[in-house]
Amino acid sequence: RVGAPPEPGDYDLVVVANRLAVDRVTDPDGTSSWRRSPGGLVTALAPIMASREGAWVGWGGVADEALEPFTHDGMHLVPVELSEQDLTEYYEGFSNSTLWPLYHDVIARPAFHRQWWDTYLTVNVRFARAAAATAAPNATVWVQDYQLQLVPRLLRRLRPDVRIGYFHHIPFPPVDIYSQLPWRRSLLEGLLGADLIGFQRRSDVANFAGSVRRLLGGSFRSGALNVNDGHGGERAVTAEAFPISIDVATITALSRDPEVQARSRQIREELGNPNTILLGVDRLDYTKGIRHRIKAFAELLEDGSLDVEDVCLVQVASPSRENVGPYQELRDDIELAVGRVNGTYDTMGHTAIRYLHHSYPVEEMVALYLAADVMLVTALRDGMNLVAKEYVAARGGKGGVLVLSEFAGASDQLRKALLINPHDIDGMKDAILEAVAMAPQEATKRMRSMHRQIITHDVNKWSQDFLGRLAGGEQAADRQEHD
Ligand code: G6P
């Protein structure tokens, strides 16, 4: 089904991701233009792409739109077209209603539909062909995330000359959960088309290796597995942890910007100058533990441990995957819970939960991080959680307490956070109270230690480590320290 190989392209480094590295912005007068997407991945890769004849293959964000390749801000962009049906079956369906819940420990029930699988395969073929037509002879191709797990193998069939990396941004589940997937062998074979497969945590690597052993019968030894190269020989596939990080320089610079600092003081005033601001920042996703967090906070108000005159929880929940049923139900649940808590505890001057169903520019986020005394990251399962790392970067070692779920990958690096099990509501309540009452000296000590970790492990280091390893480099010795 993969078809005849296309003519090779001109680009030495090709990134393949579901979304392009640019977003469309439409001005009030109706003209539209592109803007580089926010976020660490794009920020880290843009300069590498500019210096290495790089191209980015991805979907432009609007259904049924055929776009020619174009250049923006020094980056070559190759749009892949998706129809309405592709969006329903490949993106909302197989990617976000089958794989997403399955890979996040079945917190929501995964749906298995053969039609969705067929479309996932068809769309992965389209991405693989676009990558094959963009990559120069012997180029490096770096495939991103669970939407494109078949691309490594499909691409290798089209272009055996290219070096293929794949990075999995979300968790890889234990084999007994993964095995529910009717297409479990095909996806593993898809991934094994890569030379290097990167995961966030060592536990993800172990889960993946366990699935390969059980379902395909191959054993990774010292991180490597020999597979058939399709020409009677063998080639090695490596699986390793490369914990992703953030663009520390940008967050640090913003945290020192007088305008951002003034905005953070203004936020505090606008909230009625509470003694303590608690903050949650998440995509509105059922993996993030927002319900659990609100429950713990509500119980602390209920039993009188916290008072609405002193403490306010700011919850930013950015809209996400709004056509997918469980996301709509989650929004209803959260908004009901917030309404109940506020209806019960608000006073004229103070609100218990300031709930914001928006996304904000990074300047506003950093102002919020500076205003927040306690950051709550209570994910039930999360590949990494970059919000936790952004909070640490923004604080610059100057206090603030991070309450962090042990089920977020970031807990492997941020050991000085108050680590919690979000299912244990009493434990979470204790941690919130400990955070609210923590002596500034202790908070600063913990924050400094975490800040040291973050500044020595930013997203540039992550991409260099991965690409260095993909190019045949040795395993970075100090990477193992913290992952
Ligand atoms: C997670 C995934 C990404 C995805 C992002 C936003 O971080 O790992 O692959 O791009 O969520 O989700 P969306 O469905 O809007 O692309």
DSSP string, 131-190: HHHHEEEEEEEEEESGGGTTHHHHHHHH-TTSEEEEE--S----HHHHTT-TTHHHHHHH
Interval between CA 324 and ligand 1 midpoint (Å): 14
Looking at the predicted structure, is the pLDDT value of residue 479 above 90?
A: no
Q: Which of 169, 245, 318, 384 to mutate to test the pocket of ligand 1 (most atoms within 8 A of CB)?
A: 169
pLDDT of residue 204: 98
Question: What's the Cα-to-Cα distance from 254 to each of 36, 249, 371, 390, rounded to whole Å?
Answer: 18, 9, 13, 11
Among 34-38, 195-199, 430-434, 474-478, the range scoring the smallest mean pLDDT is 474-478
* Atom of ligand 1 lying closest to residue 145 CA: 9
pLDDT of residue 480: 46
Q: Which of 104, 321, 324, 381 to mutate to test the pocket of ligand 1 (most atoms within 8 A of CB)?
A: 321
Token pair of 429 as six digits: 């309540």
* ipTM entry: 0.97
pLDDT of residue 18: 97
Confidence of residue 397 (pLDDT cuts 50, 70, 90): confident
**Ligand 1 close to Cβ of residue 99 (< 6 A):** no
Regarding predicted confidence, which is higher, 292 or 50?
292
Interval between CA 456 and ligand 1 midpoint (Å): 25
DSSP 378: -
Residue 10 annotated as catalytic: no
* Atom of ligand 1 lying closest to residue 170 CA: 8
Q: What is the mean pLDDT of residues 390-402?
A: 96
- On whether the CB atoms of residues 21 and 37 are closer than 8 A, the answer is yes
**Ligand 1 close to Cβ of residue 170 (< 6 A):** yes
End-to-end CA distance of the chain: 39
Q: What is the mean pLDDT of residues 279-299?
A: 98
Q: Which of 149, 284, 320, 323 to mutate to test the pocket of ligand 1 (most atoms within 8 A of CB)?
A: 320
Looking at the predicted structure, is the pLDDT value of residue 199 above 70?
A: yes
pLDDT of residue 165: 98
Q: Which of 12, 382, 458, 465 is catalytic?
A: 382
Q: What is the mean pLDDT of residues 364-393?
A: 98
Residue 29 annotated as catalytic: no
Among 25-39, 325-339, 405-419, the range scoring the smallest mean pLDDT is 25-39
pLDDT of residue 483: 42
pLDDT of residue 47: 85
The fraction of the chain above a pLDDT of 70, given in percent, is 98
Q: What is the mean pLDDT of residues 408-414?
A: 98
Mean per-residue pLDDT over the chain, rounded: 96
* Atom of ligand 1 lying closest to residue 91 CA: 14
- On whether the CB atoms of residues 369 and 384 are closer than 8 A, the answer is no
Interval between CA 49 and ligand 1 midpoint (Å): 21
Q: What is the mean pLDDT of residues 276-292?
A: 98
Q: What is the mean pLDDT of residues 211-233?
A: 95
- On whether the CB atoms of residues 151 and 127 are closer than 8 A, the answer is yes
**Ligand 1 close to Cβ of residue 19 (< 6 A):** yes
Q: Which of 104, 169, 292, 350 is catalytic?
A: 169
Confidence of residue 297 (pLDDT cuts 50, 70, 90): very high
pLDDT of residue 482: 42
Interval between CA 262 and ligand 1 midpoint (Å): 32
Among 39-53, 62-76, 130-144, 443-457, the range scoring the smallest mean pLDDT is 39-53
Torsional sign, CA 468, 474, 478, 480: positive
Looking at the predicted structure, is the pLDDT value of residue 36 above 50?
A: yes
* Atom of ligand 1 lying closest to residue 95 CA: 14
pLDDT of residue 475: 67
Interval between CA 120 and ligand 1 midpoint (Å): 16
pLDDT of residue 39: 81
Interval between CA 126 and ligand 1 midpoint (Å): 20
pLDDT of residue 132: 98
Interval between CA 174 and ligand 1 midpoint (Å): 21
pLDDT of residue 44: 85
